[in-house]
Amino acid sequence: MANGKPKGIARFRRLLRRLPGVVRGEIIAEFYVTGRQMVQAVLAKTPNRRGALRAGIKSKVLPTSLRLQIGLIGSKAERAGLFYGRIQDLGRREQIVSVRRYRRGARALDVDRFKSGRGGGKSAKLTTVYQMRVRAMKGKRFVTGSYPDLRRTLNQNLRGIFARSLTKIGGGE
């Protein structure tokens, strides 16, 4: 910190951890307010075919590390059905995949046992294996896209919080 600016994110986070509790509270409150605005902006760009993807968009404030997360967050079970959200957000490349079809009525458990070679009474009969072309898809960038207006607003509000706290500290309060 030769010229007063922290070098690296680790030093900056250490600086944030040493902030007074009142300032941390103001920053967290600002994160909650801005987080709601950012979620609304992300929802406006989110594809809405069935609505499940829109329901999975959330914001989360981490008070100890002073971070704001926005996107498809939640428990593993909540995100399991939304795996395609990442594909729609980032896109995919064109590729040829191998597809395996099993006999009709084969239960998933039987198929797993058959694949692992453990047997287990019934055997799932592999009926066809074929190649399928998956087309490329450009990413929609509804989560990972840039939202310059919202970032600018958040930065201005945080600058105000830091300016007020530094004047209080400098004034001896």
Helix (H) or strand (E) holding 133: strand 126-134
Dump pLDDT digits (tens) for 99-133: 988 776 655 555 555 555 555 545 567 788 999 99
pLDDT score for 79 = 85
Are 14 and 20 in contact, with CB atoms under 8 Å apart? Answer: no
pLDDT band at 60 (very low <50, low <70, confident <90, very high): very high
For 19-56, write each residue's pLDDT tens digit: 778 888 888 999 999 999 999 999 999 988 878 889 88
Instruction: Please say whether the beta carbons of 143 and 71 come within 8 A.
Output: yes
pLDDT tens column, 140-157 = 999 998 889 988 988 898
* Residue appearing with tokens 């795996």: 83
